[in-house]
Amino acid sequence: MMLIRFAMTSPSLFLLDMMAQLDEVDHVLVPRCEAFVPGCDIFEDPVHSRHASLTAANRPVKQQHHRAAHFSSNPPLDFAHIPKHIMYNFARARPLARAVRAAAVSIGMLRKLQKPLTLPARNWETPLKRSVVQQRRGLAIHEYRSAALLESYGIGVPKGGVAESGAEAEKIAKDIGGEDAVIKAQVLAGGRGKGTFDNGFKGGVRVVYSPREAAILAEQMIGHKLITKQTGAAGRLCNSVFIVDRKFARREFYLAILMDRASQGPVIVASSQGGMDIEAVAKEHPEAIITTPVDIHTGVTDEMARNIATDLGFSEQCIEDAKDTIQKLYKVFMDKDATQIEINPLSETTDHQVLAMDAKLNFDDNADFRQKEVFSWRDLTQEDPEEVKAAKVGLNFIKLDGDIGCLVNGAGLAMATMDIIKLNGGTPANFLDVGGGATPEAIRQAFDLITSDPKVTAIFVNIFGGIVRCDAIAKGLIQVVQEMNLKTPVIARLQGTNMEAAQKLLNDSGLKIFSIDDLQAAAEKSVQFSKVVKMARDIDVGVEFTLGI
């Protein structure tokens, strides 16, 4: 066996969870000490956990992996002379065992050396992991775009159109028959029907009974921010409204297709109780939820789709239409690199039509290069302006609710950094990965983003100098702190190439940059500084920090 050494001091709890849910992993072992295989590092990419790269003698070998990683090196590594008592494995996987020519007996020997930390395949969550999972990003598009896309695949949707003014809304209402229609504020947030606009107008989804009423309501919505439980107090700007013919459902169902990490593929989630909060249904009536994993090679077969339609309770007249709709939805899912298609409700109308009455579609951000049309529908007014700004300069930034700013290179190290802040009683203010290009300009852009949040009381910089030199990072950090005249304490942990020179530069700068080698100590200091600054702000006094406290 061999040790897999990660480019981080402490493995991320989020990474452990992802590894534990791979089919190949029986259990996870966390080494209590570091032991290295000379010339061999395996760096795990936590965003795409099935992709990895292996370096031998510091020479990267680019590889592509699918479902399970297969590792190789050049020149070949000799594992025969590595003492077995210093060998630990991070995640025991069959492909990895084959790569190092390890037999089952070797894995058995490993079990005797150290008691494994066994993680359940599901429902293993920390508060931090939940907050990060909820922040996962993908492209979301407006309902009118979703309806048009589904209609182009032959899926039934109510007749309607999008309007950007009261006059346009009135015309569309006339065109669709206007005496019984629904007008919907086009805002990328749930709970629109119960939301309130910043002008006091209530309800982002309303029934209208005349074209003139459609115009009046549209003018109350367009140009105003809709505030819902999902948007928070800031709300989101409504730039348009979607007016559709009002349909009366004989039956309402819920149907979604999404990527499922546990089954490593698409899964269809359906329920006979549509038109309501599916999470409430799952909690109160779990037996009403039908979950069907899809083999990505065979797709949704006629039999599978027909069984789902029958189990949901479509009438005999609609079974075949419902089957076709399910298969067409899956085709959209695959063709467009979707990560989620949610239809709630999927209705059988009184005249036995099968219609997607409301559609929510999300797409994989990594597919933008081949989904040009879909990504041209992105509405940047519906996204966090700071995250949009970060993306434009090549930074991976997600704003969170804490008060300790984080600047890290590498998503895995960023996750580990947030984990250890949380474990020490602090709360991260952001996820910020500057990637391999941790240049002075990238650091400046990152600091601009972090310091724009008034809640930030300390900044934790955690950089692994593999591709970049730590002394270059230190110079950039000093320059940025000087130019910004930053008063917020900065805790810097720079490890890797030229780290001694970097530490000297930081210590000699005379700035409020505290260089700390140990990850745990750096996290503790960040939390302590944050608490001190927060207390000072609460009583409206200033606070100064100097080296050596």
Residues contributing to the annotated binding site: 184, 191-193, 252, 344, 358, 409, 466-468
Which residue, among 211, 197, 226, has the nearest Cα to 163 in the 3D structure? 211
Sign of CA dihedral 348, 354, 356, 361: positive
Q: Which helix (H) or strand (E) holds 474?
A: helix 470-484
Q: How many CB atoms lie within 10 A of CB 439?
A: 14
What residue type is assigned to position 511 of the chain? L
- Tokens in use for 421? 């802040």
Give how far Cα 104 sits from Cα of 29, 68, 308, Å: 16, 18, 42
Burial class of 435 by CB neighbour count within 10 A (0 to 12, 13 to 18, 19+): middle
Annotation marks residue 144 as catalytic: no
Annotation marks residue 254 as catalytic: yes
Note the Cα 194 to chain centre separation in Å: 26
Residue of 88, 144, 168, 254 with catalytic role: 254
Burial class of 503 by CB neighbour count within 10 A (0 to 12, 13 to 18, 19+): buried
Compute the distance between CA of residue 184 and CA of residue 358 in angstroms, rounded to an integer.
10
Assess contact for 330 and 257: CB atoms under 8 A.
Answer: yes
Give how far Cα 275 sits from Cα of 24, 253, 328, 344, Å: 38, 7, 21, 6
Q: State the DSSP string of 70-112.
A: ----SSPP--TTS-GGG---SB--HHHHHHTT--HHHHHHHHH
130-143: burial string, b at 16+ Cβ within 10 Å, e else = ebbeeeeebbbbbb
Residue of 143, 168, 170, 342 with catalytic role: 342
Which residue, among 186, 185, 182, has the nearest Cα to 140 in the 3D structure? 186
Compute the distance between CA of residue 472 and CA of residue 483 in angstroms, rounded to an integer.
17
Enumerate residues 6+ apart whose C-beta is below 8 A from 163.
169, 171, 172, 218, 222, 240, 241, 242, 243
Compute the distance between CA of residue 19 and CA of residue 26 in angstroms, rounded to an integer.
10
Beta bridge partners of 226: 197, 236
Which residue, among 422, 429, 497, 510, has the nearest Cα to 463 in the 3D structure? 497
Q: Supply the residues annotated as catalytic.
A: 254, 342
